[in-house]
Amino acid sequence: MCQHSTEITARIKLEDNTKTVADGGLWYEEALPAETILSGIAVITPVKTIKHNDTEIAGALKVLTEKTLQFGGKATVGRGMCQVQLV
């Protein structure tokens, strides 16, 4: 999966005045394809030190489904935009 399904982009940083490659200015970035679906499990368990009931916690998790979230870096170029769905 990592070798064949990950988007790998070569990036180059140029010197402003000479427009040549800066020292150490070649690197690769890996990203998941745009239509990737990640899944996991969220479990609500009681915690003695926190006074919240299950309904309040479930409501807080539901708020996440109403927004587009950004995970990881590269937010300025639109990377990491995600939507959470609770099933």
Q: How far is CA 60 from CA 18, 40, 54, 57, 86, in A?
A: 52, 17, 10, 5, 12
pLDDT tens, residue order, the chain (87 aa) = 667 778 888 999 999 999 999 998 999 988 888 788 888 887 777 677 767 677 777 787 888 888 888 887 777 777 888 888 877
The distance of Cα 70 from the centroid of its chain, to the nearest Å, equals 5
How much is the pTM? 0.52
3: tokens are 């070798």
Hunting for tokens 């479990």 — which residue is that? 43
